[in-house]
Amino acid sequence: MQDITGAYLAYQVHPGHAGLVDEVIDWYDHAAAGIERTVLPCAADEYARRRWRRTAT
């Protein structure tokens, strides 16, 4: 048995499909629920950065 205390996610979404970021967020919220989470959206992807900031509050 292993006690998982954190999760890290790095990903890429094609700029033409930015709406998929919301699906990634929903999946990560479910897959890593209840543990400390870290995410690394692309620095150039302002849409994704805004969406992740919104979920952090």
Average of per-residue pLDDT across 39-55:
86
Answer left, alpha or beta for residue 31, where phi above 0 means left and psi between -120 and 50 means alpha: alpha
pTM: 0.78
pLDDT at 49 over 70: yes
**Per-residue model confidence (pLDDT) at position 37:** 92
**Per-residue model confidence (pLDDT) at position 3:** 85
Domain ranges in the chain are 6-56
pLDDT band at 57 (very low <50, low <70, confident <90, very high): low
Structure confidence by residue, pLDDT tens digits, 3-42: 888 999 998 888 889 889 999 999 999 999 999 999 988 8
Q: Which residues of 3-13 are buried (b: 16+ CB within 10 A; e: fewer)?
A: eeeeeebeeeb
